[in-house]
């Protein structure tokens, strides 16, 4: 393994020498961390420009213990979610002049040695932790170390009080299911669960039961299947139900991805949507409006989640505190797949 042969970059000493001042003065001029006479400052900046000097981030971080960077921890994915989330994060970041590091946590590597861990913790002033990207004991360790963190799409594990940003899953689901029942007169509504232990999924399930109860509909566990937030799993689940002769007039998939699988399965079985069966999802991901028929779903405010999370994290870093939990109100996005007529699509 070769050591990369990089050209020697100019250092702060080169700048100091060229400007005829000390390194301390250069540092002050750059960071405005102390008084510098205007003329001196000007000379420093001139030298910086002439040398095309760039401070070394590692040295800076080591000395000042601040990186002016926040880290985003994601489980090893590249889902539809990512794009929208990133958009929100960026938007917020641009305003605050922080930098962003996205660390993908490859769970496979996690066990190798403690040193294959993502380096975020030492490389950033704070962390945005997407649900599922960190094991609980890691969360404990980081939390104990005092690293500012914000949890995305899940609430703080018991024993810790890490601020979080979550979406109103339950209420959104109740609205959605109630719409199916009251507007479209559906009574046998399938629910396709997401992954086990996934907070969003369990809350959506709670919302499902609650909506049925509120509307006086008798629950039927036959109608519960496993979609696993996956198109193919959801498709299988629907085929399976139909094979077993289970009758239903609507399907609520725990996310849009699963809903797309449902649509596919129903299409293959020549079941007309929404005429015979209504299909709805959750997230309002970029998929939703492109499906056939366009999917009625609940907007999970992905972009805004990113935005708010960054705001909170920076509060935490700079002020030392932020509100414990931000709940983003979700809202219904009505399209065709529930049985409504094509409405002006306000969901994009």
Partner DNA sequence: TTGAAAGCGCTAACAG
Partner DNA sequence: CTGTTAGCGCTTTCAA
Which residues contribute to the site for DNA (CB under 7 A)?
A: 8-9, 11-13, 20-28, 30-31, 33-37, 39-41, 53-56, 59-60, 62-64, 66
Helices marked H in 23-79: 23-31, 38-51, 57-64
Question: Which residue lies nearer to DNA by CB, 60 or 239?
Answer: 60
Question: Which residue lies nearer to a second copy by CB, 37 or 267?
Answer: 267
Q: Which residues between 57 and 76 bind a second copy (CB under 8 A)?
A: 57-59, 61-62, 65-67, 69, 76
Question: Which residue lies nearer to DNA by CB, 37 or 269?
Answer: 37
Percent of the chain as helix, strand, coil, to the nearest 5? 45, 15, 40
The whole-angstrom separation of Cα 34 and Cα 26 is 10
Three-state SS string over 133-171 comes to CCCHHHHHHHHHHCCCEEEECCCCCCCCCCCEEEECHHH
Structure tokens at 149: 């963190």
Residue 35 interacts, among a second copy, DNA, none and using kind-specific CB cut-offs from 5 to 8 Å, with DNA
The whole-angstrom separation of Cα 277 and Cα 65 is 58
Considering only residues 85, 165, 180, 333, which one is a binding residue for a second copy as defined by CB under 8 A?
A: 85
Residue 103 interacts, among DNA, a second copy, none and using kind-specific CB cut-offs from 5 to 8 Å, with a second copy
**Residue the block writes with tokens 């507007």:** 183
Structure tokens at 4: 């990369």
The whole-angstrom separation of Cα 301 and Cα 313 is 18
Q: Which residues between 237 and 266 bind a second copy (CB under 8 A)?
A: 260
Residue 36 interacts, among a second copy, DNA, none and using kind-specific CB cut-offs from 5 to 8 Å, with DNA
Question: Which residue lies nearer to DNA by CB, 33 or 321?
Answer: 33
For residue 135, state whether it binds a second copy (rule: CB under 8 A): no
Considering only residues 34, 37, 46, 145, which one is a binding residue for a second copy as defined by CB under 8 A?
A: 145
Residue 244 interacts, among DNA, a second copy, none and using kind-specific CB cut-offs from 5 to 8 Å, with none
Q: What is the β-pairing status of strands 297-299 and 331-333?
A: antiparallel
Structure tokens at 130: 């997407």
Considering only residues 12, 29, 30, 43, which one is a binding residue for a second copy as defined by CB under 8 A?
A: 30
Stretch that binds a second copy, among 86-94, 158-166, 206-214, 322-330 (CB under 8 A): 86-94
């Amino acid at each position: 393994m070769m050591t990369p042969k990089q050209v020697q970059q100019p250092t702060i000493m080169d700048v100091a020498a060229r400007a005829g001042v000390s390194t301390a003065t250069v540092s002050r001029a750059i960071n405005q961390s102390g008084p510098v006479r205007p003329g001196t400052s000007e000379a420093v900046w001139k030298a910086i420009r002439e040398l095309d000097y760039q401070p070394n981030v590692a040295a800076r971080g080591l000395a000042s213990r601040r990186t002016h960077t926040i880290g985003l921890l994601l489980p090893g994915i590249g889902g539809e979610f990512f794009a929208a989330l990133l958009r929100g994060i960026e938007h917020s970041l641009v305003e605050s002049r922080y930098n962003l590091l996205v660390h993908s946590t490859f769970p496979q590597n996690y066990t190798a040695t403690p040193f294959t861990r993502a380096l975020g913790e030492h490389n950033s002033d704070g962390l945005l932790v997407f649900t599922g990207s960190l094991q609980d004991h890691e969360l404990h360790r980081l939390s104990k170390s005092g690293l500012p963190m914000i949890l995305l799409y899940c609430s703080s594990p018991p024993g810790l009080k890490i601020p979080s940003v979550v979406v109103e899953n339950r209420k959104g689901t109740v609205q959605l299911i109630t719409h199916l029942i009251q507007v479209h007169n559906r009574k046998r509504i399938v629910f396709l669960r997401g992954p086990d232990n996934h907070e969003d999924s369990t809350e959506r399930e709670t919302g499902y039961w609650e909506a049925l109860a509120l509307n006086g509909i008798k629950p039927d566990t036959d109608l519960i299947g496993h979609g696993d937030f996956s198109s193919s799993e959801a498709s299988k689940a629907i085929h399976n139900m139909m094979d077993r002769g289970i009758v239903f007039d609507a399907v609520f998939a725990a996310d849009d991805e699963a809903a797309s699988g449902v649509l596919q399965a129903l299409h293959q079985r020549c079941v007309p949507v929404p005429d015979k069966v209504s299909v709805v999802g959750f997230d309002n991901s970029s998929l939703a409006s492109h499906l056939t028929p366009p999917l009625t779903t609940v907007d999970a405010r992905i972009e805004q989640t990113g935005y708010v999370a960054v705001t909170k994290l920076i509060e935490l870093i700079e002020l030392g505190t932020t509100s414990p939990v931000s709940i983003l109100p979700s809202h219904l996005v009505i399209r065709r797949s529930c049985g409504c007529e094509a409405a002006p699509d306000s969901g994009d």
